[in-house]
Structure 1
């Protein structure tokens, strides 16, 4: 009898493992692409202290003068900030982590977009909005899938202007092919 009981136990164990594997597969197949979880406390490092007064977080940061008119994305390399300026003129603004390669100040057009890809720094990124290619390096806005914003390796030429995933969602919805991007110092 001991022999037949061990065969039943082995069969039940194998069946339980198969059921758990199937349920795990179902859970992963129906998981949302962007699970809702608490955002990191401070994913964007504070801008370096240049002696200037720090902006009040309760007040919006003004769109840089000389950045044009009409709907556009404004990217200030020096302020490490982006503004999405819609038709009404009311901007959405957020901090970004610049890449090591920067486009010269001027007006550009969104030329390509990619939903998910591996970035030039080797990490998975999403919502890539490309608009320039100085020095043969594609420059665009994107978010790391892990929602972190580390400073880029200064020894590598990369073009990813990184932002949080929430800001990347807004950029993706706003900056379609042909959208205007204005780069200011």
Structure 2
């Protein structure tokens, strides 16, 4: 009987080690190639250098990416919805939250038709593309049309746009759509 229980324990040990080895292999196979510099969720891939036309501040900045994309300027608080052919479909001013994304290339990761913003305001057409220090960054339109200045004491990532601009963003920025954040 003692031989049978030690054989049983040895079998369990081998099975456990095989399982741990298999799980370790799966984890290493799905790990990023470069673990030396961990990235935040939605961390940018590149940091574009966009050149502005000082005489035409609403003009799409040069070097702001290629193809269909949303371009968001941190300095100008402006968004451009750019078609695949490079033509600007729409541009508009926005009011940022208190937390900005880093400059770089992102993709739309999720969308919500209607939610309550972190400031308690009902918002619609939420288009999310980044996370910075556990704060989700995305575009949204307040149902009441308000564009409040951000409260620096509250960490918010909502970039507010008018209801009409929110409708345009919602129709343009589907899951996976490129979002380029420039200085």
4+ runs of 1 displaced by more than 4 Å? 53-56
Query: Structure 1 residue 65: deviation in Å?
Result: 2.0
TM-score under structure 1 normalisation? 0.67
Task: After superposition, give the CA deviation of every residue in 1:85-135 in whole Å (9 maximum; x if it has no partner).
Answer: 012322110000011101110000100000000001111000000000011
SS in 1 for 2:128: strand
Q: Where does the alignment leave 5 or more consecutive residues of structure 1 unmatched? A: 1-52
Matching residue of 2:134: 136
Equivalent of 1:178, from 168, 176, 179? 176
SS in 2 for 1:120: coil
Q: Aligned-residue CA RMSD in angstroms?
A: 1.6
Query: Structure 1 residue 55: deviation in Å?
Result: 4.8
SS in 1 for 2:171: helix
Q: Where does the alignment leave 5 or more consecutive residues of structure 2 unmatched? A: 1-53
- Structure 1 residue 63 corresponds to structure 2 residue 84: no
Task: After superposition, give the CA deviation of every residue in 1:45-87 in whole Å (9 maximum; x if it has no partner).
Answer: xxxxxxxx7858xxxx211222111000000011000000012
Equivalent of 1:148, from 142, 146, 153? 146
Measure the CA separation in 1 of the matches of 2:119 and 2:64.
Answer: 30
Task: After superposition, give the CA deviation of every residue in 1:135-184 in whole Å (9 maximum; x if it has no partner).
Answer: 11000000000001110111110000000000000000000000000000
**Contact residue 111 and residue 127 of structure 2 kept, 8 A:** yes
**Contact residue 66 and residue 84 of structure 2 kept, 8 A:** no
Measure the CA separation in 2 of the matches of 1:143 and 1:152.
Answer: 14
Instruction: Count matched residues.
Output: 130
